[in-house]
Amino acid sequence: MTETPTATTLSESGAHGGAQHRYGNLRAEQWRIISASFAALIARDLRVLMHMPSTFLLRTVLNPLMFVFVFTYLYPHIGAARFGQIAGQSLATVALPGLVASAIFFQGLTAVALPLSMEFGATREIEDRVMAPVPYALAAAAKVCFSALQSLLAAAIVFPLVYLIPATPIHIQIASWSTLVLAAVMGSLLAGFLGLLLGTVVEIRKISIVFAVAVVPLTFLGCVYYPWASLHAVRWVQIVVLANPLVYLSEALRAALTPTLPHMATWASLPTLTVLTVAIAWAATKTFTRRVLA
């Protein structure tokens, strides 16, 4: 290990000549360590993931695979080809952006919330990572960054799956790359921070029940299998689902991938997604810090 200037030089430096220079070195050294530490925190999560890649794959693929297989492959074959059609488009086309959105969303949520609540539990395994020589918020940010990468990877896996399996024609055109990228990245971060919030607030005993109870309504009322605009027919539902962050992600992806289908205007979905991400990031960082610093 390269010998770093001791802290004593920091407190003494003001009094001596040439101290400015040494203080500068110390600052540079501190920055080097912060970035190295941040990278190492991500590397640790990557290593853990590589120990059991199958869990990542299963939780990413299973849900969309079963859905597409039953509703867009089996259904047409058993004579229900029109099931779920909207504006003359097959269910496969309607649901593709939604399935990608929910893959992003739940990947991020699970990748952060489940391990975190465990590591905050009886074993306090989080301890060594919060003792890393970086501000506590950065340890949390590293966790979210890595989960966001997993979310994007999940999207990249689910997309071809949902595109290739259906027995009915599927119509995708990328109307706007920038909307696609922005929505995917923002949605990944939002999911990660929401996972951080849940993981720091919900006790380990309750986390699985929270997930069991939350996932189904969030998905079914997340405009995954139908566009938000089509809910116009049942006005109160259309308003209630606006509380679900997944709606904005599904709709932003819909705007980017299936522009001919009805979708929420991007001037509404993208800014809302951003505001939600910032708000949840702020709250989650606060609860994380409160949880680690007694």
Partner 1 sequence: MPAPGSGELQLSIEGLVKRYPGSEQNAVDGVSLGVHAGEIFGLLGPNGAGKTSTISVAATRARPTAGRVTLAGVDVVAHGSLARRRLGVVTQVNTLDRSLSVGENLYFHCRFFGLSRREAKQRSSDLLEHFDLAHRRHDRVDRLSGGLAQRAQLARALAHRPSVLFLDEPTAWLDPQSRLALWELIRNLRERERLAVVLTTHSMDEADRLCDRVAIMDHGRILVCDTPEALKRSVATAATVELRLKAPPSPRLFQQLEALHGVEGVLAEENRVKVLTSARDGLVPQLIAKVGSGLLDLSVSETTLENVFISLTGRKLRD
* Chain residues that interact with partner 1, rule: CB under 8 A: 1, 4, 6-8, 10-12, 30, 32-34, 36-37, 39-41, 43-44, 47-48, 51, 115, 122-135, 292-294
135/217 with CB nearer partner 1 = 135
Contacts of 118 (CB under 8 A, 6+ apart): 125, 204, 207
Element (H, E) at 186: helix 177-201
Q: How far is the CB of 118 from partner 1 (least distance, A)?
A: 9
Q: Rounded CA gap, 227 and 41, in Å? A: 39
- Measured from the CB atom, the residue of 13 and 244 that comes closer to partner 1 is 13
DSSP 201-246: HS-HHHHHHHHHHHHHHHHHTTTSSS-GGGGGGSHHHHHHGGG-HH
H helices of 52-169, where? 53-67, 75-77, 91-119, 127-130, 136-164
**Looking at beta carbons only, is 45 or 251 nearer to partner 1?**
45
Angle between helices 91-119 and 204-220 (to 10 degrees): 170
**31 or 220: CB nearest partner 1:** 31
**Cβ 142 to partner 1 shortest distance, Å:** 10
Cβ of residue 125: shortest distance to partner 1, in angstroms? 5
Rounded to the nearest whole angstrom, what is the least distance from the CB of residue 33 to partner 1 in the complex?
4
- Of 208 and 260, which CB lies nearer to partner 1 in the complex structure? 208
